[in-house]
């Protein structure tokens, strides 16, 4: 197996910088559309539940509700923007920027759904924003060490990559065919299953879309016939399959449970798996020095602390909830029964 360079080199700094900022803009736009789409979807379900006498009737009538189609379009558009952002910028950068979907969702929930935005949640949103800024400021303008389709092939057949992809796919299949029917009733177990499926298959989706980006750039920049290679079509088919499964199960969680809590849990799971997969295959960390790596890890840790604070006053009965009462009282949220009226 040929040895690939340990350090990533940016062959065209101007092109890399332009692609970097385009990726930033696309990622920010994606978070805004996702947050607003999730809120519109909850409004749609609330309207459907109010008009329907039975849960089955509500499930069928959603296709006749205009708000449902509006939110579906917003969420699909957000996924498209995120996918394009992964092709233009580092996976570390796009994944970090997606943390903004959490405070955006909380803000929109407070404005449009009248959900309680306590002091503790405001602190959590602030920490998420600060952590995201730290990460963005220390990630270089590079998309990793893989620049050609042949290099990508060598990385994909690496034992570590094979183990990760097999584990992610096997874990998803186990949840799809065995765990989901067992925990069909609404509750925290079902939510965790849906979000785990979306995060696990989503990590493969990111690997596939970045691989297709490598094949495209190799074709147009290096003048190689990558569109005749079987690996290119494997990446394309994997991308659409993983994207469809990811979109379906993420929206199943959004349909049944609190928007803000779902977004926060999904971010933690998705970030962990996505960064693990891209670090193994694309090795974007190798383009960073020790200071940048340390600052990036500190930024992600700050984000994690912010996510924990976002749930502290609604899940855990601890002294931390006393701080939330300063902003008008504590509203505790438990996993509700199916009915789509699970607003904080």
pLDDT at position 165 is 93
What integer best gives the mean pLDDT of the chain? 75
pLDDT at position 337 is 38
With a pLDDT cut of 70, the percent of the chain lying above it is 74
pLDDT at position 6 is 39
What are the start-end ranges of the E strands in the chain? none
In the predicted model, is pLDDT for residue 232 greater than 80? yes
Question: What number of CA atoms fall less than 13 Å from residue 109's CA on the CB side?
Answer: 26
- What pLDDT digit, counting tens, does each position of 88-121 carry? 788 778 877 877 777 787 788 788 777 777 788 7
The mean pLDDT value for 213-220 works out to 82
102-130: b or e for each residue (b if 16 or more CB lie within 10 Å)? Answer: bbbbbbbbbeebebbbbbbbbbbbebbbe
Q: Where is pLDDT greater, at 179 or 289? A: 289
Q: What is the DSSP letter of 179?
A: I
In the predicted model, is pLDDT for residue 187 greater than 70? no
The mean pLDDT value for 259-281 works out to 79
pLDDT at position 317 is 42
In the predicted model, is pLDDT for residue 182 greater than 80? no
pLDDT at position 181 is 62
The packing angle between helices 259-281 and 290-315, to 10°, is 160
DSSP 77-130: HHHHHHHHHHHHS-HHHHHHHGGGHHHHHHHHHHHHS-----HHHHHHHHHHHH
Non-local CB neighbours of 143 within 8 Å, separated by 6+ positions: 16, 19, 89, 90, 91, 210, 213, 282, 284
- What pLDDT digit, counting tens, does each position of 22-39 carry? 888 888 899 889 888 878
Q: Round to whole Å and give the CA distance between 236 and 197.
A: 20
Question: What number of CA atoms fall less than 13 Å from residue 148's CA on the CB side?
Answer: 10
In the predicted model, is pLDDT for residue 276 greater than 50? yes
In order of 160, 179, 212, 262, 284, the CA distances from 280 in angstroms are 7, 28, 17, 27, 9
Q: Round to whole Å and give the CA distance between 81 and 33.
A: 9
Query: What's the angle, vertex CA 242, arms to CA 140 and CA 224, rounded to 5?
Result: 60
Q: Round to whole Å and give the CA distance between 205 and 203.
A: 5
How crowded is residue 151: how many other Cβ atoms within 10 Å of its Cβ? Answer: 18
With a pLDDT cut of 90, the percent of the chain lying above it is 7
Highest mean pLDDT among 165-169, 176-180, 265-269, 275-279: 165-169
pLDDT at position 213 is 81
In the predicted model, is pLDDT for residue 243 greater than 80? yes
In the predicted model, is pLDDT for residue 50 greater than 80? no
pLDDT at position 160 is 92
pLDDT class of 315 with cuts at 50, 70, 90: low
pLDDT at position 185 is 57
pLDDT at position 311 is 66
Q: Round to whole Å and give the CA distance between 278 and 285.
A: 9
In order of 102, 277, 312, the CA distances from 42 in angstroms are 16, 32, 23
Query: 4, 6, 3: which is closest to 286 by C-alpha?
Result: 6
Non-local CB neighbours of 79 within 8 Å, separated by 6+ positions: 30, 34, 243, 246, 247
Q: Round to whole Å and give the CA distance between 135 and 91.
A: 12
In the predicted model, is pLDDT for residue 179 greater than 90? no
Q: Which pair of structure tokens corresponds to residue 121?
A: 């949640």
């Amino acid at each position: 197996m040929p040895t690939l360079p340990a350090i990533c080199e940016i062959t065209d700094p101007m092109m890399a910088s332009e692609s970097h900022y385009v990726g930033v803009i696309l990622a920010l736009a994606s978070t805004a559309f996702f947050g607003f789409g999730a809120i519109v979807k909850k409004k749609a379900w609330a309207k459907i539940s109010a008009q329907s006498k039975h849960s089955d009737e509500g499930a069928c009538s959603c296709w006749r509700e205009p708000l449902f189609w509006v939110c579906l379009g917003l969420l699909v558009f957000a996924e498209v923007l995120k996918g394009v952002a992964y092709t233009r910028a580092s996976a570390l950068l796009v994944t970090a920027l997606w943390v903004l979907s959490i405070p955006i969702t909380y803000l929109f929930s407070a404005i449009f759904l009248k959900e309680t935005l306590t002091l503790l949640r405001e602190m959590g949103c602030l920490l998420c924003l600060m952590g995201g800024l730290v990460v963005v400021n220390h990630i270089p303008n590079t998309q990793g060490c893989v620049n050609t389709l042949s290099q990508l092939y060598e990385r994909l057949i690496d034992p570590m990559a094979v183990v990760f992809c097999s584990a992610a796919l096997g874990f998803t299949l186990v949840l799809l065919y065995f765990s989901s029917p067992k925990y069909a009733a609404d509750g925290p177990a079902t939510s965790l299953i849906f979000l785990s499926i979306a995060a696990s298959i989503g990590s493969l989706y990111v690997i596939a879309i970045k691989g297709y980006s490598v094949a495209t750039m190799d074709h147009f920049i290096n003048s190689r016939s990558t569109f005749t290679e079987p690996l290119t079509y494997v990446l394309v088919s994997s991308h659409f399959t993983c994207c469809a499964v990811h979109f379906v199960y993420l929206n199943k969680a959004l349909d049944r449970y609190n928007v803000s809590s779902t977004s926060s849990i999904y971010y933690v799971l998705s970030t962990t798996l996505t960064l693990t997969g891209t670090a193994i295959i694309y090795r974007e960390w190798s383009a960073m020095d020790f200071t940048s790596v340390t600052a990036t890890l500190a930024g992600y840790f700050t984000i994690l602390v912010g996510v924990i604070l976002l749930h502290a006053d609604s899940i855990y009965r601890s002294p931390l909830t006393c701080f939330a009462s300063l902003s008008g009282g504590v509203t505790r949220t438990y996993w509700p029964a199916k009915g789509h009226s699970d607003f904080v």
